[in-house]
């Protein structure tokens, strides 16, 4: 098949490009949701999607399908051979090309020298670079854009004003939380690189032990703002003093970590790239960072109202945010660090402005988090064989250093700031989550050939493992439990779509019947307990919701039973509105907290009248569940 | 500079890619807003951005900058020469390569034959295809994705259920509105292609007169749903019977038009592409359309609640919509028509479901309309020289045929449906708007080499011209005027950030002083008239807003004066709340409608309490304007 003349991509290339995006996004979203269902970070599922679709699984099961869907190189359409460029000695621009040819007179194979002829072939394919497949270039460009937008969103989340409010405590936690893991990480990496390179996956030929060790130090010292925010939200601690302290420490941490990483990248010349002036790169980087954190923030804050006043909404502000992020990204890429730094700093400058509305942030965040990020993280894992590059020693060393360094550093910082032992441990565990940011950092280091694929795999595993354990460990340290949301309590078996009952007592008995089949406790025991409670004081909480409840002996765990009655059942509510949604809350006698938690979840679920309405009108369990889920997600 | 080994794109390529996106988006958004300020369609500004940044202006002013920012071909990094592939006779796969070379024994230039060597050069460059620049491939992939998402959004807007409600009238208008322009367009194109090819820009060598004429017929008969929706919203007619009739006619029109276009594409083989089985393409297309409009709609409607019930919100549903659109796009591209048809039909199937919430649609629509669309339309105009390809004869013929065919066709249809003469003309004018969809259609026809660049330029001009005149002509036919929005009435000169007055009378006098300088009418004349009116009945309309008003003799046009008083001034409102925002409405004595229109605009502007609050707290005019603009945009 030949190439479409006027278009750039052939129909086949377009088909594969769109299909590859669809498959990456679909698989990543699906596994992301599965990970979430099991209480794990979404990025775990997204990486797993890449592992399954990529070199690790699909590449081994059916390498033909894999290289059809994610082609590597551009092939000549006639001969099927790959096309090469840049095959000659980079230090000698005028060296003529060498080709194998047939001597026209003798018919024998000879080697010829061709002056100034492009694309001719030399003998050793390893000397030249093949032109990548155009589908791969399309995907790769999309990944570049995605990672910039991911860092833009990360930047938008950084609020420097809350950092200054937290003052000394935040500084102590974040500094100690960076210095300790940095020193340990740097020390271990430098020592191993020079003495036992295999143990840390250091490529001795690269002769870059110092930047390598600096990189690992920084990789150990960064933290993952979104993961931490999510944990704090789950524990209902986001707005607490401690939540704010952790958030602001993490922000300082992030900012310093990324600046440090930019410095390391400035130190090394990417493979094949012309050597850059180190002093220029570092000077330009610091100048840009300084500008964005001062004048940039000020100007962004002044410009946003101007844009919103004189343009259509939200087109003006969305365009402004994207253009600024792309421009800053192009600038830092040109400086010689990486595009993501520009996008990150643009995010910080824009995000600090109170004029940027929540609605605008939400739109950007949702598209980036749910469309660009899944494709990017699945793409990150695509080309790496996670099984062949899994090295037990490296994984263990990275994991141990990452956890010990961070937990102790933050613990010490928190103690200095005057927090209790228990709180200090909690901060240490929380801050040790690395999440998606660590994976991005590793991916860039890999593309700069600063680390090996083995070390990259170890870093990905460490990033995910620390994110997985941070929440539970923090919960344990603080003895708090994760807030349940209404949807988590719902189940199809404990749901009655249309209650037959028309009175309070009948409704309780009807729901108790359902509860009995779900819990194994006798129906009469349940209805008696709930009815007894109901008689002391009615449980209509207004707005058409009733919450009959009771403590039930022998119940294994808290149980919610929901019944819907479009006609309404009188539960004697304060506002006189008959209950359309009856949530029966059953809790074990010994669990003191469960009941109040469930009540909170019910109240939250039906706080929005529109959601309440569509829940009542829902036909069957799926629609009901959809109705209460829609629009109820927290920002993180 | 050499290539980055591990990455696909060099730092320079990444820099240019991001910069090109930033410049395209920035310029397109800016000029889009300017166009909007002048009451013109946004796409006009977006196309203009491409004209300025592309071959037309920048390419002529500084061709070096132009080809640096939007590079065409991949060059060998050593020699600087372009890299070719597919250079040999496509019908002879085994033909050996020919290269120019230096005979090693004599040192003379000779021509050699090399068996099975890829990428070698032949003499005539026109025979081979150069490998496109990787930046261009990245941008082109982004454009492909963008146009699919644009058609997804167009599909989401089609609501087949309102079509069935409109019944016969919609069918009459849309059928006559398609058949008449199609027949005229097809006839003119076929006649000219065979007799005066220059007049219509038909390339006689292409030997595709029939598909060419069919294409032009369809190009004349489609319509632009979003432009029409915008016009109807502006005239406050969207929800009226006539508005619904126009919308549903346009939807039928769109659906049939795009299916017809798919059929035309099925008829032609894109240049260089292997000939496809026409019967297969047509059969597969009809099967897919049939499936999506029946079972696809049904399944989408059943699946959406499932997705929303069992996934995080809005991540689950956003992912589902994008994945389905990408999959359908890949499918139709594979069938051999074009990716956009799949995305469009996915949009229709998904959009018809009432379970897809307004919030989800809004998020997708905003990102596509304000980020993907501007980049795409600027990109469309980038490579075309609009000046050199401007052919007066072709432009006039296309314009005349487009307007006459559509206006008369719809007029006849509307008369058949029993509408009045005046309404029938209005429908004709409204439906003649072609907008962005026509440009997409032309761009695909161009990439299939079905039309020349001259005809493409004419189609773009026709699309924009019809969109520009549709609104005013429709207004005129119906004798309606465009609804003014509050922001349109505001001006910095007629604004008092902090009123000194503490009483009603003082406030009126203070605002009258400002009004006098703006309008040239004497201050006392204004304050007397307004105060007289105020005494007959107080003008506090509640929620902290007051609207003192008066009809002023000698006033040239309606004038709004706004004053803010954070302390509040008692305007004796029904709810007892002191007025913080005082909007003085002055209208000429003879203008009967102006006052009620302004009142409506004020009420609309302050209907949202949050917006009201930030307006009161605004410091100065810009912040006030931003406050009332944020969140106030209609969907179209």
Note whether B312 contacts A371, CB cutoff 8 Å: no
pLDDT of A294 reads: 93
Q: Average of pLDDT values for A347-363? A: 90
pLDDT band of residue A610 (cuts 50, 70, 90) is: confident
Which of A305-309, B107-111, B531-535 has the lowest average pLDDT? B107-111
pLDDT band of residue A77 (cuts 50, 70, 90) is: low
pLDDT tens across A173-232, in order? 888 999 999 999 999 999 998 888 888 888 777 778 899 999 999 999 988 877 788 788
Predicted structure pTM score:
0.83
Q: Which residues of A touch B449 (CB under 8 A)?
A: 5-6
Q: Provide the chain B residues 1-40 that lie in CB contact (below 8 A) with chain A.
A: 1-11, 14-19, 21-22, 25-26, 29, 32-33, 36
Name the residue with higher pLDDT: A52 or A101: A52
In the predicted model, is pLDDT for residue B445 greater than 80?
yes
Which of A289-298, A419-428, A489-498, B270-279 has the lowest average pLDDT? B270-279
pLDDT of A168 reads: 80
Note whether B36 contacts A312, CB cutoff 8 Å: yes
pLDDT tens across A360-412, in order? 999 999 999 999 999 999 998 998 899 999 999 999 999 999 999 999 999 99
| ipTM of the complex in this document | 0.83
Q: Average of pLDDT values for B150-160? A: 88
Q: Average of pLDDT values for B85-104? A: 42
In the predicted model, is pLDDT for residue B130 greater than 70?
no
User: How many CB atoms are located within 10 Å of the residue A381 CB?
Assistant: 26
Name the residue with higher pLDDT: A87 or A278: A278
pLDDT of A399 reads: 95
Note whether A19 contacts B138, CB cutoff 8 Å: no
Interchain CB contact of B363 with A (< 8 Å): yes
Name the residue with higher pLDDT: B595 or B30: B30
DSSP SS3 for A584? strand
In the predicted model, is pLDDT for residue B98 greater than 80?
no
pLDDT of B122 reads: 35
pLDDT band of residue A100 (cuts 50, 70, 90) is: very low
pLDDT of B455 reads: 94
Q: Average of pLDDT values for B594-622? A: 82
Backbone angles phi, psi at A432, to 5 degrees: -75, -10
pLDDT of A116 reads: 39
In the predicted model, is pLDDT for residue A111 greater than 80?
no
pLDDT of A105 reads: 52
Nearest chain B CA: its distance from A1 CA (Å): 6
- In this prediction, what percent of chain B has a pLDDT beyond 70? 87
- In this prediction, what percent of chain A has a pLDDT beyond 70? 87
pLDDT of B332 reads: 92
In the predicted model, is pLDDT for residue A634 greater than 90?
no
- Whether A317 and A156 have beta carbons less than 8 Å apart is answered as no
pLDDT band of residue A148 (cuts 50, 70, 90) is: very high
DSSP SS3 for A451? coil
Taking alpha carbons only, the member of B438, B432, B421, B440 closest to residue B469 is B432
pLDDT tens across A217-238, in order? 999 998 887 778 878 877 777 7
Q: How many Cβ pairs closer than 8 A exist between chain A and B?
A: 422
d(CA B292, CA B298): 9
pLDDT of B614 reads: 83
Name the residue with higher pLDDT: A41 or B342: B342
Which of A147-161, A503-517, B238-252, B475-489 has the lowest average pLDDT? B475-489
In the predicted model, is pLDDT for residue A461 greater than 80?
yes
When CB atoms are compared, the residue of A9, A90, A330 closest to B22 is A330
Q: Average of pLDDT values for A93-113? A: 48
In the predicted model, is pLDDT for residue B225 greater than 50?
yes
pLDDT of A87 reads: 39
pLDDT of A157 reads: 85
Residue B394 Cα distances to B185, B195, B199, B217, angstroms: 13, 14, 5, 15
pLDDT band of residue B113 (cuts 50, 70, 90) is: very low
pLDDT band of residue A541 (cuts 50, 70, 90) is: confident
Q: Which residues of A touch B79 (CB under 8 A)?
A: 93, 116-118
Which of A110-119, B2-11, B403-412 has the lowest average pLDDT? A110-119
Minimal-distance CA residue of chain A relative to B357? A630
Give chain B's mean pLDDT: 83
pLDDT band of residue A330 (cuts 50, 70, 90) is: very high
Q: Average of pLDDT values for B195-210? A: 80
Which of A106-110, A544-548, B114-118, B279-283 has the lowest average pLDDT? B114-118
pLDDT of A38 reads: 87
Residue A625, both tokens: 């569940």
pLDDT of A130 reads: 62
Backbone angles phi, psi at A520, to 5 degrees: 85, -5
Residue A200, both tokens: 């840390």
Name the residue with higher pLDDT: A81 or A325: A325
pLDDT of A86 reads: 42
Q: Provide the chain B residues 204-263 that lie in CB contact (below 8 A) with chain A.
A: none
B36-39, long-range: CB < 8 A, 24+ apart:
B36/A312, B39/B471, B39/B482
pLDDT of A374 reads: 95
pLDDT band of residue A274 (cuts 50, 70, 90) is: low
- Whether A135 and A17 have beta carbons less than 8 Å apart is answered as yes
The four Cα atoms A609, A610, A613, A618 give a dihedral, to 10 degrees, of -140
Q: Average of pLDDT values for A585-592? A: 84
pLDDT of B3 reads: 30
Nearest chain A CA: its distance from B294 CA (Å): 21
Interchain CB contact of B286 with A (< 8 Å): no
User: How many CB atoms are located within 10 Å of the residue A602 CB?
Assistant: 22
DSSP SS3 for B186? helix
DSSP of A73-119: B-B-TTT-PBPEE--S-TT-TTPPEEEEEE-TTT--EEEEEETT-TT
**B314: cis peptide before it, omega within 30°?**
yes
pLDDT of A22 reads: 97
Minimal-distance CA residue of chain B relative to A343? B18
Q: Which residues of B touch A118 (CB under 8 A)?
A: 76, 79, 81-84, 121
Note whether A141 contacts B25, CB cutoff 8 Å: no
Minimal-distance CA residue of chain A relative to B629? A309
Interchain CB contact of B86 with A (< 8 Å): yes
d(CA B31, CA B51): 11
Give chain A's mean pLDDT: 83
In the predicted model, is pLDDT for residue A158 greater than 70?
yes
Q: E-strand spans in A509-627?
A: 540-542, 545-546, 549-552, 559-569, 579-588
User: How many CB atoms are located within 10 Å of the residue B473 CB?
Assistant: 21
pLDDT of B81 reads: 54
């Amino acid at each position: 098949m030949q190439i479409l003349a006027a278009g750039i991509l052939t129909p086949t290339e377009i088909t594969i490009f769109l299909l590859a995006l669809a498959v990456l996004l679909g698989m990543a979203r699906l596994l992301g949701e599965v990970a979430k269902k099991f209480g794990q970070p979404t990025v775990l599922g997204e990486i797993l999607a890449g592992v399954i679709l990529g070199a690790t699984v699909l590449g081994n099961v059916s390498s033909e399908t894999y290289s059809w869907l994610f082609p590597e190189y551009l092939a000549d359409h006639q001969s099927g051979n790959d096309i090469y460029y840049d095959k000659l000695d980079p230090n000698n621009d005028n060296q003529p090309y060498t080709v194998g040819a047939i001597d026209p007179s003798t018919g024998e194979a000879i080697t010829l020298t061709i002056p100034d002829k492009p694309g001719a072939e030399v003998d050793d394919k390893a000397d030249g670079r093949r032109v990548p497949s155009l589908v791969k270039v399309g995907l790769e460009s999309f990944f570049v854009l995605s990672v910039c937008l991911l860092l833009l969103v990360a930047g938008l989340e950084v609020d420097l004003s809350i950092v200054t409010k937290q003052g000394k405590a935040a500084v102590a936690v974040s500094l100690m939380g960076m210095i300790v893991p940095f020193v340990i990480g740097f020390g271990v990496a430098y020592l191993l690189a020079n003495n036992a390179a295999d143990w840390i996956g250091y490529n001795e030929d690269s002769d870059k032990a110092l930047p390598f060790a600096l990189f690992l130090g920084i990789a150990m010292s960064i933290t993952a703002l979104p993961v931490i925010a999510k944990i704090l939200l789950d524990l209902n601690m986001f707005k607490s003093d401690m939540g704010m302290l952790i958030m602001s420490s993490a922000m300082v941490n992030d900012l310093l970590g990324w600046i440090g990483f930019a410095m390391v990248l400035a130190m090394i010349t990417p493979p094949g790239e012309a050597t850059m002036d180190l002093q220029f790169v570092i000077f330009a980087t610091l100048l840009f960072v300084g500008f964005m954190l001062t004048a940039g923030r000020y100007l962004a804050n002044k410009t946003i109202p101007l844009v919103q006043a004189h343009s259509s909404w939200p087109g003006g502000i969305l365009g402004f945010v994207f253009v600024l992020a792309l421009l800053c990204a192009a600038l830092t890429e040109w400086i010689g660090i990486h595009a993501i730094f520009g996008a990150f700093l643009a995010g910080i400058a824009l995000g600090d402005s109170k004029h940027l509305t929540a609605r605008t942030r939400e739109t950007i965040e949702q598209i980036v988090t749910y469309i660009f990020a899944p494709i990017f993280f699945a793409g990150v894992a695509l080309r790496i064989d996670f099984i062949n590059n899994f090295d037990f020693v490296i994984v263990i060393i990275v994991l141990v250093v990452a956890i010990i360094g961070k937990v102790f550093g933050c613990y010490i910082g928190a103690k200095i700031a005057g927090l209790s032992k228990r709180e200090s441990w909690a901060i240490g565990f929380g801050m040790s989550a690395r999440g998606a940011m660590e994976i991005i950092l590793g991916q860039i280091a890999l593309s700069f050939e600063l680390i090996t694929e083995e070390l990259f795999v170890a870093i990905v595993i460490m990033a995910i493992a620390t994110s997985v354990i941070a929440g539970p460990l923090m919960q344990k340290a603080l003895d708090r439990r994760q807030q349940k949301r209404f949807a988590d309590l719902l189940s199809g078996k404990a749901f009655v779509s249309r209650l037959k009952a028309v009175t309070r007592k009948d409704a309780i008995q009807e729901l108790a019947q359902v509860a009995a089949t779900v819990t194994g406790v006798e129906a009469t025991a349940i209805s008696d307990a709930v009815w007894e409670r109901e008689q002391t004081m009615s449980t209509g909480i207004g707005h058409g919701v009733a919450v009959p409840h009771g403590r039930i002996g022998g119940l294994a765990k808290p149980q919610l039973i929901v019944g819907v009655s479009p006609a309404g059942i009188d539960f004697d509510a304060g506002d006189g509105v008959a209950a359309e949604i009856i949530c029966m809350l059953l809790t074990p006698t010994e669990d003191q907290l469960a009941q109040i938690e469930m009540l909170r979840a019910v109240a939250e679920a039906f706080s929005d009248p529109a959601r309440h309405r569509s829940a009542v009108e829902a036909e069957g369990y799926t629609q009901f569940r959809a109705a209460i889920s829609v629009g109820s997600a927290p920002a993180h």
